[in-house]
A and B are shown apart, each in its own frame.
Chain A
Amino acid sequence: MKNKQQKRNLNPFWIGSFFILLALFPPFFLSQYWLHVMIISLFYVMMASSWNLIAGFTGQVSFAHAAFSGIGAYVSGMLAVFLGLSPWLAIFVGTGASAFLGLGLGYLCIRMGGIYLSLTTLGFSEILRIIITNEDQWTRGTMGLQTPGFFAEYSKISYYYLFLIATILLLIFIYKIIHSEIGLTFRAVLNDELAASSSGINTVKVRILAFTVSSAMAGLAGGLYGHYLMLITPDIPSLGQMFLVLAMAVIGGMGSFIGPIVGSFLLEILSEYIRIYGEYHVLLFGLVALVMARFAPEGVVGIWKRRWGKRWLS
């Protein structure tokens, strides 16, 4: 019994190590263009996985996730531009700002569930985007804010490894959370909030915690993204971005650890191939996400699990 359990516990560790090892090689054979695609994919992995933490695990379908990445990007970018702060430090201030605002918004949404929470976060997201667009003294509006990068000498390879390390650390953190007691309480709140509360779970605290942690993660991802692109525009906190992240999590498989990771790579790489159709690719992803939500709510990973067993996917 004990032996069997240990074997099961080791499995995700080895699988994880295998993929991390695999991820070390792309810079040696990928072109600059595809390296860029990989970096963007890693950004989306961070976004979709952290969104999954609130939407997939506590059932709070927030539309403010892109907005929180925008807060991370703009706070970090403005600190670097106006105060000359090192981007390495500034991203942590940006992360903190996202966490703080996430706490506030999470607190506001306590009594809301379902569509009301979604609408409130949607409103927050749009308000933020409008403020950023209009306060062009500080944000340069739609022109975009030029920010310094992380490295003195620009190199996609360095950025790739930076994003890889950040993504791995973030994923380990998420994995730890969902497999801890806190993760169990997240799922209890998702399943039945009243029953959870009647079983001694402080559901308000659980929901706010999820919101804050997830927002902080989006802030970190946004900060990294801004200093990689070296140009921060209101596209980062836009709803288009939000729906892309949502589609990635839904198509990959909400409520599972692997789902959003698979979804992010799948959609980002796919979108490079259908880029010629312009903005229509978001429309296509929306449609696919809708079809998935109706017929395969557990996403690509869910379909995989059903067909080939679930050895390493939980």
Chain B
Amino acid sequence: MGETVAFLIEAKGLTKSFGGLRAVKGVDFHLNAGEIVGLIGPNGAGKTTLFNLVSGIYPPDEGTLSFRGMEISSLKPFEICRLGIARTFQIVRPFLKMSCLENVLIGIIGRSDHREGREAKEEEARNLLKFVGLGGHEKNLANNLTLIEKKRLEMARALATRPSLLLLDEVLAGLNPSEILQALELIEILRTQLKVTIFWIEHVMGAIMKASDRIIVLDQGQKIQEGKPQEVVNNSKVIEAYLGESDA
């Protein structure tokens, strides 16, 4: 078992079906601590389902999932979160009728650390809001934010749980080029300063290729390719999956 511990997270043969649809079929992958790994694939490839398996929203039908050498596939989402895996959602899910500060506080409370007082927690929440660029929005209801601000709020809430692995589901979608650059900077800071490992789904190819150390490609629930961004981009299978078979 020595080699399993070396990876931050390792999945073997992950499979999940919904009725007759096999959304994820026998996927193996691993992440090393400190890596930024991109997960790409055409619509319906099973990317979000894979995230839902890792974050415990669904238990896998088959396969194993170990985090720091510990089997986590049967754990509940809050237990997985407390171990250090946090996520954002593709379709944003902030607590709409709560203030931004309260949204982030939930992530802090979720750590279930009773040593800190309320004041310290609120201070930390305020700092996190500033970090994602939402300083001054503390008392605003999450419902009143724009979509992009809601995404940032979700990021702050996820960071509040002090994750060692962060799953980001399409955080760049809908951002303009300068906002994408800001977001990429933020992600780089997460890695270098907070030592967070990042696993992210993205359709903005330029950005994910530039910022990722490795790319995993899913198609129809299966992993079809894995490697450095340049290798993946030029791989014929990947091009086929995105564009269909070539006639040439």
CA A199 to CA B107, docked complex, whole Å? 5
Residue of A nearest to B107 (CB): A199
Whether B109 and A201, one on each chain, are in contact in the complex, defined by CB atoms closer than 8 angstroms, is: yes
Q: Which of A157-165, A181-189, A263-271 contacts B (4 or more CB under 8 A)?
A: A181-189
Distance of A160 from chain B, by nearest CB (Å): 37
Residue of A nearest to B143 (CB): A191
Chain A contact surface mostly = helix
Whether B57 and A194, one on each chain, are in contact in the complex, defined by CB atoms closer than 8 angstroms, is: yes
Whether B98 and A187, one on each chain, are in contact in the complex, defined by CB atoms closer than 8 angstroms, is: yes
* Residues of B in contact, count (CB < 8 Å): 29
Contact mask for chain A residues 139-177; partner B; CB cutoff 8 A; 1 contact, 0 none = 000000000000000000000000000000000000000
Partner of B98, one of A188, A194, A197, A202: A188
CA A125 to CA B110, docked complex, whole Å? 34
23 contacts between A and B (CB under 8 A): A181-B105, A184-B105, A187-B97, A187-B98, A188-B95, A188-B106, A191-B95, A192-B94, A192-B95, A195-B89, A195-B93, A196-B95, A198-B55, A198-B57, A198-B81, A199-B81, A199-B110, A199-B160, A200-B78, A200-B107, A200-B111, A201-B78, A201-B110
Contact status of A185 and B78, CB under 8 A, knowing A191-B96, A191-B97, A195-B95: no
Binding site for A on B (CB under 8 A): 55, 57, 76-78, 81-82, 86-87, 89, 93-98, 102, 105-107, 109-112, 118, 157-158, 160-161
Number of contacts between A and B (CB, 8 Å)?
73
Contact status of A195 and B97, CB under 8 A, knowing A184-B102, A201-B109, A203-B78: no
Which of chain B's residues have a CB closer than 8 A to the CB of A191?
95-98
Residue of A nearest to B85 (CB): A198
Residue of A nearest to B76 (CB): A197
Whether B102 and A187, one on each chain, are in contact in the complex, defined by CB atoms closer than 8 angstroms, is: yes
CA A202 to CA B107, docked complex, whole Å? 12
CA A10 to CA B107, docked complex, whole Å? 28
CA A185 to CA B82, docked complex, whole Å? 15
CA A187 to CA B96, docked complex, whole Å? 10
Which of chain A's residues have a CB closer than 8 A to the CB of B107?
199-200
Residue of A nearest to B112 (CB): A200
Which of chain A's residues have a CB closer than 8 A to the CB of B161?
199-200
Distance of A46 from chain B, by nearest CB (Å): 26
Whether A194 and B111, one on each chain, are in contact in the complex, defined by CB atoms closer than 8 angstroms, is: no
Partner of B109, one of A185, A192, A195, A198: A185
Whether B81 and A200, one on each chain, are in contact in the complex, defined by CB atoms closer than 8 angstroms, is: yes
Which of chain A's residues have a CB closer than 8 A to the CB of B111?
200
CA A195 to CA B94, docked complex, whole Å? 7
Whether A200 and B110, one on each chain, are in contact in the complex, defined by CB atoms closer than 8 angstroms, is: yes
Distance of B197 from chain A, by nearest CB (Å): 17
Which of chain B's residues have a CB closer than 8 A to the CB of A194?
57, 77, 93
CA A190 to CA B102, docked complex, whole Å? 14
Distance of B67 from chain A, by nearest CB (Å): 15
CA A208 to CA B158, docked complex, whole Å? 25
Whether A181 and B118, one on each chain, are in contact in the complex, defined by CB atoms closer than 8 angstroms, is: yes
Contact status of A184 and B109, CB under 8 A, knowing A198-B77, A199-B158, A203-B78: yes
Residue of A nearest to B114 (CB): A181
Contact mask for chain A residues 67-101; partner B; CB cutoff 8 A; 1 contact, 0 none = 00000000000000000000000000000000000
CA A198 to CA B82, docked complex, whole Å? 9
Closest 9 CB pairs of A and B: A200-B110, A191-B95, A200-B81, A195-B93, A197-B77, A199-B110, A188-B106, A199-B107, A198-B77
CA A187 to CA B157, docked complex, whole Å? 15
CA A203 to CA B93, docked complex, whole Å? 16
CA A194 to CA B90, docked complex, whole Å? 13
Which of chain B's residues have a CB closer than 8 A to the CB of A190?
97
Residue of A nearest to B87 (CB): A198
Residue of A nearest to B96 (CB): A191
Which of chain A's residues have a CB closer than 8 A to the CB of B157?
199
Which of chain A's residues have a CB closer than 8 A to the CB of B55?
198
Distance of A29 from chain B, by nearest CB (Å): 42
Distance of A35 from chain B, by nearest CB (Å): 39
Contact mask for chain A residues 38-80; partner B; CB cutoff 8 A; 1 contact, 0 none = 0000000000000000000000000000000000000000000
Which of chain B's residues have a CB closer than 8 A to the CB of A196?
95, 106
Contact mask for chain A residues 201-216; partner B; CB cutoff 8 A; 1 contact, 0 none = 1110000000000000
CA A200 to CA B160, docked complex, whole Å? 10
Q: Which of A188, A194, A198 gathers the greatest number of chain B CB atoms within 10 Å?
A: A198
CA A195 to CA B90, docked complex, whole Å? 12
CA A201 to CA B80, docked complex, whole Å? 11
Distance of A281 from chain B, by nearest CB (Å): 32
Contact status of A200 and B82, CB under 8 A, knowing A185-B109, A188-B106: yes
Distance of B238 from chain A, by nearest CB (Å): 30
Distance of B117 from chain A, by nearest CB (Å): 11
Residue of A nearest to B109 (CB): A181
CA A197 to CA B161, docked complex, whole Å? 12
